[in-house]
Amino acid sequence: MISETFWRGKSVIVTGGSSGIGRAVGEALAAVGTRVGLIARRREPLVATAAAIRRLGGMTEEEACDVTDAAALAAAVASLERRLGECEVAVASAGIHRTSWPLDAAIAADVIDVNVKGCIHLAAAVLPGMLSRRRGWFCGIASIAGVVGLPGNAAYCASKAAVVAFLESVRLDAAAEGVRVTTALPGVIDTPMITNAERAAGGVMPADVAAVRILRGIERGRAEVWFPRRTAIAARAARSLPPRIRDAFLRRQPRLEEPGGD
C-alpha cells in the first residue's frame, strides 16, 4: 500500500492516464484522497477512467491532450491546476511502443516524440511552478529497456534511454531548488503494450503493483526505482558483461511485437 499520510490532499497530474501504468497510478492515488488530474490523448477511454475513479469516491479531473504538443499540454496542465490546485507531484507516464526492425524512420520518430517529448513537455509545464514554490516531485516512467538494447526495439530503447538521461540531469539541477526527481525503470508490465504470449510466459507485473512501486519510490525520495527485482538484476549484470557476450545474451531476449500505448 501507499502512504495515505503522504498523498492525502496533494494535487497530482498524470499523463498517459487512460490506461496502463498511468491509469493504475491515478486509481491508487484517488483511493487515498489525492486530487488527481489525468491527461491522455484518447478522450473516450480517458473520460471512462475518470468516471470509474469518481464512482469509487476519488476526486479527479481530466484533459484530453496530445503530449507531443507542448502548448496544448501546458494549457491542459494550467486547466487542471485551476480546478485541482497547484501541481505538487507530476508523473510522466504517456508512452507508446512500436517495433523498429526493419528500421522505419517514421515509426521511430513517433516513438521518440511521445516517449521523450511527452516527458520533456510535462516537465516544462510543471517545473516552473514547483521551482518557484521550492517544493514538488517529478517522476518519469522510463524502462529497464533504456539501459540495455533489446532486439527489435531500437527506437523504444533509445527513447527510454533519453528519458533516463533527461531525468538524471533535471534531478541534478532541481535538487538545489527543493524539487525532487524520480526515474521509474520497470521491466515488463501488463499494459496494452505487451502480447498475450508474453503474458502467458510469466514474469509480467500487473500495472497496479507497478503503480504502488513507483508511488512508494516517490514517497521515499528515491532517485531511481527499478523493478521487478529479477529483471533489474539481469539488466545490471548484462551491462557489466563484455560487449560480445552481452550481445549474445540480449539476442536471445523476446521482442515486444504488439504496438500499443496511450
Radius of gyration of the chain (CA): 18
141 touches 91 (CB < 8 A): yes
172 catalytic? Reply is: no
| Active-site pick, 156, 166, 226, 227 | 156
Which positions are catalytic? 156
